[in-house]
Amino acid sequence: MGLLDHAGARLTGRPEDAEILVVNTCSFIDTAKQESVDTILEMARHKTEGRAKKLIVAGCLVERYRDEIRKSIPEVDAVVGTGELESILEAAGIAPIPKPVSPFNILTGVATARSGQESLAGTHKEPAFRAEGDHREQQGRFTREEWQGAAHMLPTYLYDETTPRLLSTGRTSAYVKIAEGCDHPCTFCVIPNLRGKFRSRRFESVVAEAQRLVASGVREITLIGQDTTCYGEDLGLKDGLALLLDELAKIEGLRWLRFLYAYPNRITGRLLETIAKHNNICKYLDVPLQHASPAVLKSMKRGAGAEIFLKTLGKVRAAVPGIALRTSFIVGFPGETAEDVRVLEDFVEEARFDWLGVFSYSDEEGAGAHGMTRKVPKRTIEARRKRLMKLQQGISKRAKQEWVGREVVLLAEGESSETELLWEGRTEFHAPEIDGKVYINDFGPFENLEKGRFYRAEITEAHEYDVVARVVSEAL
C-alpha cells in the first residue's frame, strides 16, 4: 500500500470505486485459502461487471499456486508473490518514483496525503542465512517440488526503513516486522515453504523505522515475524530480540512495545529481564505451544511437553510478575489420541493462560504431516476443539473476575462495533485485534473520550473474555 500510495495511486477501501483491485492473500491453512479464493472471485466480478480494469493477486497464495491462479481465474491480470513486493507497481502499470524522506502515511479514508519525494540511499542487502536454515534446506525443508506452479526461488525479500508504508492500523498503533521466514521443522506447517528461510532486518533499520513511527505519532509498536525470538541470529547477535527491545524501549514517546510469536525454547532469562526492566514493554507474552502431549509434539517436530512448558511458564511468571500469557494449540494432529487430548486439557487447566486460541488441524500438501497415517476424523477434531475452548472459557471467566476493582491504563480505540453506547479499549495485557476487549461504559470526568488516547480506568465488571471499565482520569 505504501509503495502504491507513494507512486501516486489514490487508495480506496471500496472495490466498486477502484480501477485497480489488489487482493492480498493467505494460504497457510484450508480456511485461509478458501477465504482468499472467494475474495478473488468476488473482486473479479467488479472487473467483469463494474468499473475495475485490473485485478492483481498478491501474497502467499501466489507463492503456492502461481500458475493455477492465472489459469483458473482469467480475470487476474498479474500476481505478486511475497518475495517480489516491489513489482506491485509494474503490475499496476504505475511508474516507480524515488523513496520518500518520511516513508509513513496514515490510511485515514479514501484519499491520502503524499509524502516528501527526496530519495534516501537504498540499504537493502541480500540477507545472510543462519546455519540452521542452510542445514534444513539440505534436508529439503523448503522444497516446493510437488507444488505445481510455485516459483522455485524462495522469497528473500525484506523491507527496510526507507520502504514507504501506509498504516492501516490508525495513528496510534503499528506493527513492525523484524524478520521474515522460518527455519523450524514443524511438520504441520508450510509457512517456511511459502516465506523462505529465516532472515532478520538490520538492527539499525528496525530502530530507525520505530523512531520515525513514534515521531509521526505512533504510541504502540508490536514487533512481528514468523519467529521473533530468533531475531538477530543470522546477524551474529546473541539475545538479539532482547537487545532490540532494550534499544526500542528508549524511544521517547513510545508507550507500549510488545512482540508476538515467541518460540518456547527461545525465551531466555535475558529476554525476560528486558521485559521486566522497561515500563513501556508490555507485560505480555504470546507463545504458541501447539500441543502439550510429548508424543504429539515429537511428531510435530517441536519437542518438549507439558512438564517442560509448565517450568517455562513458571520462570516467565517469576521474572515478570503479572504478565499476561497467550498461546495457541492445534487439535487433531495425525495420531492424536484421547489420552493426548487429556494431557493437553490437564495442562490448560494447570497453566491458566490469559488468552488461548485453538485451531483444527489442517492437512496441507507439502507439510511433513501430510503423508502421515492415523488421520483424525474431522468430527472428532471439531469436538476436541470445542471441548478445549469450553474448558478455557471457564478458566478465563474466573481469571477475569479477579480483574474487577483493578486500576489499569487503557488505550481508547473508539466506539464499540457492537453498540454506540459503549467504547472499546485495550490494556497492555491485550494485543491488538486478537485478545478480549475492554468495554467502556462510563467516561468518568470526560464528556467524550478521544480515540488513540490513554486513560486510567477501573475495571467494574467481568465476563468470559471481556471486561467493563469506568474511566477515572487521563493517563499522562
How many chain residues interact with ligand SF4 (CB under 6 A)?
Answer: 9
Find, among 58, 66, 74, 60, the residue nearest to 22 by Cα: 58
State the nearest-atom distance from the C-beta of 186 to ligand SF4, in Å: 3
Q: Does residue 182 bind ligand SF4 (CB under 6 A)?
A: yes
State the nearest-atom distance from the C-beta of 210 to ligand SF4, in Å: 23
- Nine-digit cell string for 225: 515475524
State the nearest-atom distance from the C-beta of 157 to ligand SF4, in Å: 17
State the nearest-atom distance from the C-beta of 61 to ligand SF4, in Å: 17
Q: Does residue 289 bind ligand SF4 (CB under 6 A)?
A: no
Among 47, 184, 291, 400, binds ligand SF4 (CB under 6 A): 184
478465563: which residue's cell? 396
Task: Give the pairing type, strands 454-462 and 407-415.
Answer: antiparallel
485451531: which residue's cell? 359
Considering the complex, state which of residue 309 and residue 439 has its C-beta at the smaller distance from ligand SF4: 309
State the nearest-atom distance from the C-beta of 4 to ligand SF4, in Å: 28
Q: Does residue 368 bind ligand SF4 (CB under 6 A)?
A: no
Q: Does residue 59 bind ligand SF4 (CB under 6 A)?
A: no
Considering the complex, state which of residue 226 and residue 392 has its C-beta at the smaller distance from ligand SF4: 226
Considering the complex, state which of residue 227 and residue 424 has its C-beta at the smaller distance from ligand SF4: 227
With CB under 6 A as the contact rule, which of the stretches 116-124, 189-197, 251-259, 371-379 interacts with ligand SF4? 189-197
With CB under 6 A as the contact rule, which of the stretches 83-91, 178-186, 310-318, 430-438 interacts with ligand SF4? 178-186
Say if residues 332 and 380 touch (Cβ distance below 8 Å). yes
Q: Does residue 227 bind ligand SF4 (CB under 6 A)?
A: yes
With CB under 6 A as the contact rule, which of the stretches 144-152, 158-166, 180-188, 458-466 interacts with ligand SF4? 180-188
With CB under 6 A as the contact rule, which of the stretches 115-123, 187-195, 362-370, 391-399 interacts with ligand SF4? 187-195
State the nearest-atom distance from the C-beta of 367 to ligand SF4, in Å: 9
Distance between CA atoms of 257 and 232, rounded to whole angstroms? 18
Distance between CA atoms of 209 and 165, rounded to whole angstroms? 10
State the nearest-atom distance from the C-beta of 379 to ligand SF4, in Å: 25
Q: Does residue 186 bind ligand SF4 (CB under 6 A)?
A: yes
Distance between CA atoms of 448 and 409, rounded to whole angstroms? 17
* CB neighbour class for 199 (10 Å; exposed up to 12, middle 13-18, buried from 19): buried
State the nearest-atom distance from the C-beta of 260 to ligand SF4, in Å: 11
Among 112, 193, 222, 226, binds ligand SF4 (CB under 6 A): 226
Q: Does residue 155 bind ligand SF4 (CB under 6 A)?
A: no
- Nine-digit cell string for 393: 472459557
Residue type, 232: G
529465516: which residue's cell? 198
Among 76, 178, 191, 214, binds ligand SF4 (CB under 6 A): 191
Distance between CA atoms of 111 and 92, rounded to whole angstroms? 18
State the nearest-atom distance from the C-beta of 279 to ligand SF4, in Å: 30
Residues with Cβ within 8 Å of 313's Cβ and at least 6 positions away in sequence, in order, are 325, 351
Say if residues 357 and 328 touch (Cβ distance below 8 Å). yes
Q: Does residue 192 bind ligand SF4 (CB under 6 A)?
A: yes
State the nearest-atom distance from the C-beta of 84 to ligand SF4, in Å: 21
State the nearest-atom distance from the C-beta of 184 to ligand SF4, in Å: 4
Q: How many Å separate Cα 64 from the centre of its chain?
A: 20
Distance between CA atoms of 177 and 201, rounded to whole angstroms? 8
Beta strands in 5-70 (DSSP E): 20-25, 54-59
- Per-residue burial over 316-344, b if 16 or more Cβ lie within 10 Å, else e, is beebbeebbbbbbbbbbbbebeeebbebb
Phi and psi angles of residue 222, each rounded to the nearest 5 degrees, phi first: -115, 115
Task: Give the pairing type, strands 54-59 and 78-80.
Answer: parallel
With CB under 6 A as the contact rule, which of the stretches 41-49, 181-189, 199-207, 452-460 interacts with ligand SF4? 181-189
Helix/strand/coil percentages in the chain, nearest 5: 35, 20, 45
Considering the complex, state which of residue 177 and residue 278 has its C-beta at the smaller distance from ligand SF4: 177
Q: Which residues from 253-282 bind ligand SF4, rule CB under 6 A?
A: 263
Residues that bind ligand SF4 (CB under 6 A): 182, 184, 186, 189, 191-192, 226-227, 263
